[in-house]
Amino acid sequence: MTNERQGNEAPTGNVALVTGASRGVGRGIALGLLEAGFRVYGSGRSIEQADLPPEIRRLPCDQLKDEETAQVFETIRSECGALHLLVNCAWGGYEKMVEDGAFTWPAPFWDQPAHRWTGMMDAGVRAAFVCSAHAARMMTPRHRGLIVNISFWSAQRHLGNTIYGIAKAATDKMTSDMAVELKPFAVPVVSLYPGLVRTEAVVAAAKSGAFDLSTSESPEFIGRVINALFHDPNLMARTGQVLVAAAVAKKFGVLDVDGNSPPVLTLADIGSEG
Residues identified as active-site? 164
> Which segments within the chain are labelled E, that is strand?
15-19, 39-44, 57-60, 85-88, 98-99, 102-103, 146-150, 189-193, 242-244
DSSP 68-104: HHHHHHHHHHHHHS---EEEE----TTTT-EETTEE-
Distance CA 24, CA 20 (A): 8
Q: Which of 42, 87, 79, 82 is nearest to 60 (CA)?
A: 42
Residues found in the chain = 274
Pair 64, 119: CB distance under 8 Å: no
Cα-based torsion angle of the residue sequence 20, 21, 27, 32 in order, rounded to the nearest 10 degrees: 110
What sign for the dihedral angle of Cα 57, 1, 186, 120? negative
